[in-house]
Amino acid sequence: MNAGIMAFDDDRTGDGFEVQMQTNQLSHFLLTSLVYSSIKKAAEKRGEAKIVPHSSSAREMVKSLDSKYFEKCEPNTLGGNDAWVVSQMVLGRGGPWVRYGQTKLANSVYAMALHNKLSEADSKIKAVCCEPGYSATPLQNTKHMINMMEKLVPKQSAADGALNAIMACFNKEAQSGDLFAPEKKMTGKPIKVVAGGVRQNTGMIGGTDKSTCDPDQQKLLWESCEKALGIEFVVS
C-alpha cells in the first residue's frame, strides 16, 4: 500500500483531516479493513497472504506519533508551512516535513500493530513493511523540497528503491513483522531493520524504529485510526 504524498501544505481533505495523514495512512487502514475478509479467504486457500504498508526513512524525522495528526482540525493548525526545515527535523517544530514524518511513522507502526494482531489470531496473513530510502522519483516534486538535500544526500534509482518492496512482497525470507530498508539508510541493498517485530542492530545505536516496535505507539495508532474513520477493525 503506497498512495503517498510528501510535504504538502497544511491543508485539509473534504473530510476534514490533514491531507497527508488521510492519503498516506487513514485510507490504507480503511482499505485493509474493507478487504480483510477477502485477504483472509485468500490466505486460507493459498497458504498465506501479505499486507505490505510502505513507509519512508522520513519516519525518523519524528520521535513518536501524536494523536492530534489523526483528528479533524482547521487548516494551518498543525505547524503551518513556514518553519525552517532544520527546526522541524532537529527541534521538532511543526511543518510540512513533520506532518509527512508522522504519516510515514504511522505506516511502520501500523505494519507492526497488524503483525501482532495477526500473530495473536494465529493467522496465515503476514504484515510486512518496507521503505525505499531516497529514490529518484516524482515524489520529490514539492515546493517544500530542500535544495541542499537534493545536492548532498545520496540517492538511488526508482528501480533500486523498489527492491525493498519487492523483497517484502515476494521474497520467501520475508516474514510477518519484518521491515526492509536500504543497507546504507538512503541507498543500498535491502536489509531487515526490524525482524519479526523486533528492532535489529543495523549500525545505529540500538537500531532504528524504537517507536515502530513500541506497543503503546501501536495501540495509539490503531485507536486513532478507528476513531477517525468511525469503524472497528477486528483482526481474527
pLDDT tens digits, residue range 63-114?
999 999 999 999 999 999 976 666 666 666 789 989 999 999 999 999 999 9
C-alpha cell at 193: 531493520
Specify the 3-state DSSP secondary structure of 195.
strand
Q: What is the CA angle 162-118-220, rounded to 5? A: 85
Q: What is the CA angle 194-196-199, rounded to 5? A: 30
- Of 99-103, 181-185, 210-214, the one with minimum mean pLDDT is 181-185
Q: Taking all residues of the chain, what is their mean pLDDT, rounded to a whole number?
A: 90
Distance CA 55, CA 169 (A): 14
Q: What is the pTM of this model?
A: 0.91
Taking the mean position of all CA atoms in its chain, how far away is CA 4?
10
Please name which of 116, 30, 117 lies closest in space to residue 70, comparing C-alpha atoms: 30
C-alpha cell at 76: 494551518
Q: Interhelix angle for 96-120 vs 215-229, to 10°?
A: 100
Q: Is the CA virtual torsion 199, 5, 144, 138 positive or negative?
A: positive
C-alpha cell at 32: 485493509
Residue type, 39: I
> Is residue 193 within 8 Å of 213, Cβ to Cβ?
no
Give me the pLDDT at residue 141, please.
56
C-alpha cell at 106: 504511522
- Of 75-79, 201-205, 226-230, the one with minimum mean pLDDT is 201-205
Specify the 3-state DSSP secondary structure of 161.
helix
Distance CA 218, CA 44 (A): 26
Distance CA 168, CA 118 (A): 17
Flag whether pLDDT at 132 surpasses 80: yes
C-alpha cell at 185: 539508510
Residue type, 201: N
Q: What is the CA angle 142-147-153, rounded to 5? A: 105
Segment 38-66 mean pLDDT: 95
